[in-house]
Structure 1
Amino acid sequence: MIQRLTLRTPDDWHLHLRDGAMLRAVLPHSAAHFARAIIMPNLVPPVVTSADATAYRARILAARPEGSDFTPLMTLYLTEETDADDVAAAHASGLITAVKLYPAGATTNSASGVADFTRVRGVLERMAEIGLPLCVHGEVTDPAVDIFDREAVFIDRVLEPLRTRVPDLRVVMEHITTARAADYVRSVPAGLAATITTHHLVINRNHILAGGIKPHYYCLPVAKREEHRLALRAAATSGDARFFLGTDSAPHTDPAKLQACGCAGCFTAPNTMPILAQVFEDEGALDRLEAFTSLNGPAFYGLPPNDTQLTLERGTPDIPAQIDTEDGPVTVFDPGYPLHWRVT
């Protein structure tokens, strides 16, 4: 039985750090285990321009723990008014690593997202020309479509037509939740990848709804049937370079979660690596954990893997049930079973 596991330091290819007091409270938990992270731009107001991204990056760097060299990889929030020249200049300067597409109304702070995809085609074509990836929240927002079907419908109605119109655009399907999405990624030989979250490898929709509503398991995209969870585990542990870690760690205070219309999101930054080590061990794939957390993402984004290391050893991790912020307590995602790996 393996007692100790050393990996290249992981990266998080989908992270919510929020802003202000929340940023200052949650950033140390990501910086402790991850060298870099793709930072989500859905603040209020959103990070739309290069000036917005410059200012937000400065706030993130100022919030890093002393001695930390955590690197935020900034993104811009795509709107129907996004300026292609501003996007290209931000990319050329090294300021941004990707652009984020939210269908309008799909998730937290997505009201400024895209409703008419014809209005962003020029930006997407420019991104294809310069090799700048598009990260997509892959759900339609049509109220006639069942919430459990919105990812599959997005592939058919939005993503496949988009990729046909702009075939050279590099796309990351973020936080996939279905076997359909995993199969779609596998069907494309190049230019398409997907992130998988920690919590979607652990929970299915029963965890949210059976025996009473569990608000801290409510996320968007919502967890699906058990067959889809198993398909995600198979994809994550396969070693396939098109799948890599994006935690979608999304902190909300407990008062924001525990109300009549509670916020969507699971805060997984503090315990992602112990959970993933457990998942990969349970699947007999500990030898593929480094690819999922540390190699596949940099390869897709054209970045070198980190030259530092992170070590896990067998043992019970010391993970708080909550963290305190100036805005209120934030509950840490509970996998619902004992963990037997800890970060040293």
Structure 2
Amino acid sequence: MSNSPLHIELIQPDDWHLHIRDGEVMKDVLADTAQQFARAIIMPNLKPPVTTADLAKAYRTRIESNLKSLGISSFTPLMTLYLTDNTSADEVHKAKAEGIVAFKLYPAGATTNSDAGVSDIKRCYKVLEAMQSVGMPLLVHGEVTTAQIDIFDREAVFIDTVLEPLRKDFPGLKIVFEHITTKQAAHYVRDAATPSNTLAATITPQHLLMNRNAIFSGGIRPHHYCLPVLKREEHRVALLEAATSGNPRFFLGTDSAPHAKGDKETACGCAGCYSAFNALGLYAEAFESVGKLDKLEGFASFFGPDFYSLPRNTKKITLAKQAQKIPAELPLGNDTIVPLRAGETIAWSLI
């Protein structure tokens, strides 16, 4: 668009990659998320991780209890299981029967609470065969964790050493390459010679709006530190091009990851950006920056449910070109959290 509209009406989006944690903090996170999104893929990297259908059912019950206490009846959590070296094919069939929508692959040690993750993907081949047979997607944290590989190269190396061999061995397995951060990943997903319903990628607002300079602007900026880490400007540009292209392989996944302020602002700060409070405004800003607001609805509202073979939402929401000051801090259980762009003013607001 040559001129940005003052209002954007969208079918209500979903968040296809979300952390809501557990316990006291969950209610605050759910309140922020549910004011924007109708559904969300709930990440399973709790302590201990959600590794079985029974654990996922119990987690869903806790989520629903918190939603009820908040008076929210219009938000649906979509549950996932944490893949481990010991996951069984029987668990895949049980998960499918219980309405669990996907398994999550964390390479061991890749990110927050990933120590129980997969040490070698070949240990999981019988599980992946079962997933392929029942149409259960695999959600991939796409980084290698070998110490000698530079942290800025780990996604690109993962494509060559893990993802490409995996896709050759399981051509019918539905895979979401989550929170992609590099030009290599964007081009790999774009150009893959495979049906569009077997490979997709989610992209976060921080990776569309910031490059790695943001981590060091005027000093260490711990609230801009996430994993996979922000990359060079050429990668941000490639991600923005992919997100705004109208290609149905790319859709919204915030990877919003709540950590208390003190856990971020410490000698060894946690990885994760908290965007649940204002995610849609941030995505609108990114799309507007390249004159592609007309592509936002597909990315945010259509391509995700289509990939997961779920119905599109019908309710509509409206974003207005109305300045919004982001609070410096927000409540998080008994602590506080610093949201992405804290203390700044963004141009778009949900009305």
Same fold, judged at TM 0.5 (above):
yes
Q: Distance in 2 between matches of 1:68 and 1:342?
A: 22
After TM superposition, list the pairs within 5 Å mapping 1:1-344 onto structure 2. Answer: 1-64=4-67, 65-94=70-99, 96-188=100-192, 189-190=194-195, 191-334=198-341, 338-344=345-351
Q: Which amino acid aligns with 1:13?
A: W
Matched-pair contact (CA < 8 Å) for 1:199–1:335: no
**Deviation digits for residues 12-56 of structure 1 (CA, Å, limit 9, x no counterpart):** 000000001111111110000000000000000000000100000
**Deviation digits for residues 168-206 of structure 1 (CA, Å, limit 9, x no counterpart):** 111000000000000000122321100000111111111
**Deviation digits for residues 146-186 of structure 1 (CA, Å, limit 9, x no counterpart):** 00000000001111111111111110000000000000001
Q: Which amino acid aligns with 1:49?
A: T
Q: Could you say what the CA RMSD is over the residues aligned between the two structures, in angstroms? A: 1.2
Q: Which amino acid aligns with 2:316?
A: Q
Q: Which amino acid aligns with 1:35?
A: A
Q: Which amino acid aligns with 1:104?
A: A
Identity of aligned residues (%): 56
Q: Which amino acid aligns with 2:117?
A: G
The change in CA–CA distance for 1:317 and 1:336 in structure 2 (over 3 A counts) is: closer
Matched-pair contact (CA < 8 Å) for 2:102–2:136: yes
The change in CA–CA distance for 1:326 and 1:335 in structure 2 (over 3 A counts) is: closer
Residue 335 of structure 1, CA deviation: 7.7
Task: Return 252-261 or 79-88, whichever deviates more.
Answer: 79-88
Residue 316 of structure 1, CA deviation: 1.2
Matched-pair contact (CA < 8 Å) for 1:31–1:70: yes
TM-score, length-scaled by structure 2? 0.95
The change in CA–CA distance for 1:329 and 1:240 in structure 2 (over 3 A counts) is: same
TM-score, length-scaled by structure 1? 0.97
Q: Which amino acid aligns with 1:10?
A: P
Q: Distance in 2 between matches of 1:208 and 1:45?
A: 30
Task: Return 313-322 or 224-233, whichever deviates more.
Answer: 313-322
Q: Distance in 2 between matches of 1:284 and 1:325?
A: 35
Q: Which amino acid aligns with 2:279?
A: T
Q: Which amino acid aligns with 2:348?
A: W
Task: Return 216-225 or 314-323, whichever deviates more.
Answer: 314-323
Residue 68 of structure 1, CA deviation: 2.7
Secondary structure, counterpart of 2:79 in structure 1: strand
Matched-pair contact (CA < 8 Å) for 2:263–2:269: yes
Aligned length in residues: 343
Matched-pair contact (CA < 8 Å) for 2:214–2:221: yes
Q: Distance in 2 between matches of 1:118 and 1:314?
A: 49
Q: Distance in 2 between matches of 1:288 and 1:337?
A: 25
Secondary structure, counterpart of 1:339 in structure 2: strand
Residue 318 of structure 1, CA deviation: 4.8
